[in-house]
Structure 1
Amino acid sequence: MKTQKLLLFVFALMFCILLQNNVYAAEQTYTKTIRVQLKDGVRDVNTVWIDMKNPNIRVEAVLAKGSVGEVDTFQNIYNSAKDENTEIIAAINGTFFNVHSDLQPIGNIQVQGRNVFISNSGSSIGFTADNKIKTDWLYTTISGSINGNWEYPYNWSVWGINQVFYTDNANILYTPDFGNEVDAGNKTAIVIRNNKVVEIKKGLAPIHSDGYTLVFGAEVYSALFKIGDGVDYKVNYNQTDFSQGMKKGNTIDWSDVRTTIGAGPMLVKKGEALDNAAKEGFTDVKFTGRAQRSFIGEDKNSFLVMGTVNNVTLVELATILKDIGLINAINLDGGASSALMFEGKIITTPTRELSNSIVITAKKDTPIRLQLNGKEMFFDTDPYFSNSRTMVPLRGVMESVGADVGWDSATGAIFASKGDTKVEMWNDSDIVLVNGIEHQLDVSVQVRYNRTHVPVRFMTEIFGAEVDFLRDSNMVTIKMENTNPTEVYDKAISEYDKGNTLEAENLFLKVLEIEPSHAGAMLKLAKHYSSTDKAKSAIYYEQFLTLQPKDYSVWNSLGWTYAELGDIPKALGIFKDLTNQMPDTAEYWIALGDMYSHYQMQDYEAAKDCYNKALTCNPSESQKARIQRKLGN
């Protein structure tokens, strides 16, 4: 029935296009007004068209005052994207936000490849490094690890990034895009720098520029962390499954996307106008009724199209956009937030300050792309050429290839180190030290946009990479043995699940070469060797327990491994410690009794005492039967 109504509306719609420019075919950016005749009168649709085939075009998501939870004038927001190499072409308002309360956005926001806000409602539009446009119903989740453990009981998750939740059980990840501190209140803040826990506290907690801060209302998560733990997290992208409300659906690839704005609902998908508001959660009359609207989408010729129109419903807007040639489009925030600018002229003026905007820029120099092992890399400053050398932000690139970066306050040297290789350098100097040996660069280390930049070829080849420059795509490619422990670990898990145990074993060992304190790989190897090499299994269990000393289930496994190796005294010591730590666990008392009754010990009275103690610890029926057999009953 909805489809029939939509078709009737299409037939009732008549267009009269008023061209503001005489010629459009050769234009790469232009604006025009499209006059639409609806049943109750005429509407003017203000549009801006951007040719995304132009490699100098960049689409940016820009936060008010550079932070989540702030507002500013439309002009100030889009002008903040301007610099000596960047011209502002056009802008439109972005996603919804809490106007009358805490000013938080209500939609996904990704800035320069960083996820700065997550909200799994509505739909999203994304822009890749090569200016491809993606529209989808994006469902984003965060999964985290401690010391490389991505599985229970050391995996953790959060509700979102940079949100302010007022419930006691909220779990949130805060990045520097939120500010330089967060008030955790009575929740527990886990402060992380360079992927290590440096502080655990309540109340006001810092957010360091080289890290992030986790705030947990759930003690089951916060109790997992200790000072010095290694911490990592992954952003997972799925489609939203609307079959039963809104939940995580199929996995999608969003890894090549640099900029995202989420709002909604989806108006046009694959050339079809949609009536999607209720399904995406937009049921309030201000969404379903007629209102001032903003939209963004694309046509079949790779033009980005964005615009505003007053006094239309979402169904009317969807049909209008389909009929003017858009193949994909989403609705943006509207009403008093609706704003549109082209070449310095504001076409639609918002009547309030905004939280965020989509800004179309043109770079004077074509942006240089970077890929590591085929994966796009994004940083908060662009690579650039200096004396025919490609300069890249030091910290971002070095950490991507697995090197540690720091600063020596005594010498003023910046250093990058990995394995046995250490490089020391100084800003504005072309001299670097590699393991103490002096080398001269073709171009000095430079500071631009408050970031230290270095020549990419020299710095990455030192650490074993192969570097190439692809002129056709203006791209630097870096190839090297994968040094991201999480990616190697994920591949090992995949191989193990497919039954390729030898390949998985080699990959787990490779993880430990990259990151010797990766407890996840240690535990996987310990379990793998438990059926083939008990001595190796014991070694990896012991290594794991130096990092996670309170994992009693692993202590239990180690105890039985020693027992199977014939080292009963060592096994007995472990089970004795377990009964001291967990005196109400029947399993550990039974194990201790078994060790006392072993022929190497032959302490049958002590064994009997342990079995009787186990009976007082609410054992399972199978445990009771086992104890009774041991006692001879």
Structure 2
Amino acid sequence: MRKWIFSGLVVTMICSLFSATASAAGKPPSFVSVVMDGQKIWFPDAQAFVDENNRTLVPVRFIAEQMGAKVGWEPKTMTVPIERDDLHIVLTIGDSTALVNGKEVVFDSKAITSGGRTFVPLRFVSEALGAKVNWDSPTSTVFISIQEDANAKYDEWGRLIRTTHLPKNAKDYPYILADVPNEAYEMAYPYSHPTDSKVSSVLYSTIPEFNKKNVDIWMNRLKTFGALWLNIDYKTIDDTWAQAVFATKVQSSNAELKYIRRYVEWVKENKIQTEGYLDPEPSMIYKDGFGNNYVRSKFRIKFNSFTESKNLLYDERFPNDRKFDKQVWYEGYADISLSTNVGGDWGSTLKVDPGASLFRNYFIRKADSE
């Protein structure tokens, strides 16, 4: 069993709020994963971020309730009461102090509100509620541990493996994760060469480049691309954004940069604003036999503003015949392609393929309201 339990560890990282402003400036917001007892917490909208003090802030309701606590809201006093058994915590918005069972405790981040959600310091709330936290830099993941199961098995990324209610094609994968639904595993694979394609169980067992060090590099590149790709604001987007997106791709010529710049102009003309995130799953990679490796990724996206429901993303397969509702979160899984133009030792060179699409091999639906 892989243990991710370290007390007193300061969780530090470099990232920002998911905001179109950040992505438009060419500096993509970084998706921070939160894993609790081996299972990812999927926030319905606002994502975990890091404040100016390099402390991770999270939507308090979703973290605390996962720990069995009740979370309230007192608008008159701007306070957030959190209760579990005989533990009573009161956080005040805009304040860096809290009351824990009547005793004042000082911490180095303020509780804030953003996008209609209350954000609080992850480490303070986790430890105040009896959990322990750890920050894993290569994967930009916060691990929260509440209780250990001596019989549980975890993968190299600290994720809980399940052995029951398996998908029909479980043999295609090195293992099945507890927090990934069977429908994601059972999606059809992208078009491929029938004799040269390989499923992830084969890739990880036969190809040396498929090791954690390389895969972490690939996943971070996908997250960077996704943060730029899915967070758009017509008010601030500029050529810096275009060049940043281009830099995430495998570059054989400057032709694609011209297309990205055309999209930037369309964003301004069509008044497009979107927000979202892309979370690639390292254990779900498929090689199509033509040089592309598809990474199955969970995504969430919301189309906040547009004049025409057309080409809302930089994606040649965007379904223009489908009408997306504004201000509504959509979610699903998609296979995002990575490729390289480097031969030999290509392990660290995979980047986003120029033809990568959220709508090539995917499913999407309205997200459950929270």
Give the TM-score range, shorter chain: 0.3 to 0.5
Choose between structure 1 and 2 for higher RCO, CA contacts under 8 A separated by at least 6 residues.
2
More helix by share: 1
More strand by share: 1
Larger Rg: 1
| TM-score (ref. length: structure 1) | 0.20
